[in-house]
Amino acid sequence: MNKKELARKILKRAKISINGDKPYDIQIKNEELYKRFFRYGTVGLGEAYMDGWWDAEKLDEFFYRALSANLKEIPEIKNWRFAFFILKRLIANAGAEINAFNIGKKHYDIGNDLFELMLDKRMVYSCGYWKNANNLDEAQEDKLDLVCRKLYLKPGMKVLDIGCGWGGLVEYMARKYNVKAVGITVSEEQAKYSREICKNLPVEIKLRDYRNIKGSFDRIVSIGMIEHVGYKNYRCYMRKIYDLLNDNGLFLLHTIGGNKSVFATDPWIDKYIFPGGMLPSIKQIGAATENLFVMEDWHNFGQDYDKTLMAWFENFHRHWPKISAKYGERFYRMWKYYLLSCAGLFRSRKTQVWQIVFSKSGVKGGYDAIR
């Protein structure tokens, strides 16, 4: 069986046709795609899309169907390059302190102009909470307030935000809940932006790796940060938070989570979007927090990331003419592939969004879960 027929057979499992008339069908522009995909796997597929070799009218639906049908698990698709990639991740420690600032330089420092056009008005780059929201701004503000309520913030508390992004949460906590906040990031652009929006508030922004934080805090929050920590460092990360948290404090972890334990992310995502990243599993988080914390609450709203990613893509696509000259067409296709493939991933429920609340020795009288 030649590679085109093999691809047709594999895609049929997801009810996807080659050059079909459905919006999720794959449209082939270059017949060399088949050879490229079977030789280089998901990296080949993604790079071929960036090069314009194939398309789909609704890329998110293409990935939703492909992932729901578990096409990545088919033996013919797995290759030695993927196995070698995993082996490198097992040997190396991508989350080591020496690599701490890589993700800032390679992703978060791409350009604030891009993120300002794509994100909500508060520049929150994590999953929104859509339970009662009608648009992205509302979903992100509701998420920030959900975090604050889960932490039971009180005026005068000292709060640490590990991975503070562009400062949306620390600014919101200081203004609405009258707390003192410290935000840390490994992105120079995020630090500059955060300092500007928080300049008249009791907020300190530090360009620092989590291993080098000192102090004592009533509350600690980490949103979308542990995905950059790496499985070899989960225990170190949790021990550091334990040491920084007051005895009666609360820690909220907000993370994308995987349904199974892995040791690396998808190779294309690793190469082009989040180098060195990976998603923790329930098992890995449990092992990292064992004998340190009491798990008070575990909330999953992973379906909301599909809506968030689609809203980000809508903003990105609508505003693209404003930044197209700076970034170029190949970047547009790369970013579209990133946002819409991830939307399909969350739609398939292969990955989740968890908010987990921890205490050191248990909240007296029990913790009242907030939704």
Of the candidates 21, 48, 78, which is a domain's last residue?
A: 78
Each residue's pLDDT tens digit, 12-53: 999 999 999 999 999 999 999 999 999 998 999 999 999 999
Banded pLDDT at 96 (limits 50, 70, 90): confident
Whether 36 maps to a domain, the answer reads yes
Q: Over range 100-122, report the average pLDDT.
A: 95
Each residue's pLDDT tens digit, 258-267: 999 998 889 9
- Residue 180 in contact with residue 157, Cβ under 8 Å? yes
Three-state DSSP state, 77? coil
Whether 369 maps to a domain, the answer reads no
Same domain, 209 and 346: yes
Look at residues 279, 272, 349 and name the one whose alpha carbon lies nearest to residue 45: 272
Whether 195 maps to a domain, the answer reads yes
Active site residues: 342
Q: Would you state the pLDDT for residue 71?
A: 78
- Residue 224 in contact with residue 254, Cβ under 8 Å? yes
Helix 329-347, helix 33-50: angle, nearest 10 = 100
Q: Over range 225-235, report the average pLDDT.
A: 96
Same domain, 109 and 30: no
Whether 147 maps to a domain, the answer reads yes
Same domain, 51 and 190: no
Whether 367 maps to a domain, the answer reads no
Non-local (6+) Cβ contacts of 104 within 8 A are: 185, 186, 187, 188, 189, 190
Percent of all residues in the chain with a pLDDT value above 90, rounded to a whole number: 89
Three-state DSSP state, 222? strand
- The whole domain housing 241 covers 99-359
Whether 310 maps to a domain, the answer reads yes
Same domain, 133 and 162: yes
User: How many domains does the chain contain in total?
Assistant: 2
Q: Would you state the pLDDT for residue 9?
A: 92
Q: Would you state the pLDDT for residue 73?
A: 67
Same domain, 274 and 355: yes
Of 84-88, 237-241, 242-246, 341-345, the least confident: 84-88
Please compute, for residue 220, the number of CA atoms within 13 A of its CA located in the half-sphere on the CB side: 30
Same domain, 228 and 287: yes
Same domain, 174 and 52: no
Q: Would you state the pLDDT for residue 333?
A: 98
Q: Would you state the pLDDT for residue 214?
A: 96
Of the candidates 48, 78, 108, which is a domain's last residue?
A: 78
Supply the Cα-derived Rg of the chain in whole angstroms: 21
Same domain, 223 and 150: yes
Same domain, 104 and 38: no
Would the pTM of this model clear 0.75, i.e. be above it? yes
Task: Give dist(CA 37, CA 153) in Å, integer.
Answer: 50
Same domain, 53 and 150: no
Task: Give dist(CA 174, CA 158) in Å, integer.
Answer: 10
Of the candidates 78, 107, 140, which is a domain's last residue?
A: 78
Banded pLDDT at 81 (limits 50, 70, 90): low
Each residue's pLDDT tens digit, 44-80: 999 999 999 999 999 999 999 999 998 776 665 655 4
Same domain, 170 and 210: yes
Q: Would you state the pLDDT for residue 34?
A: 94
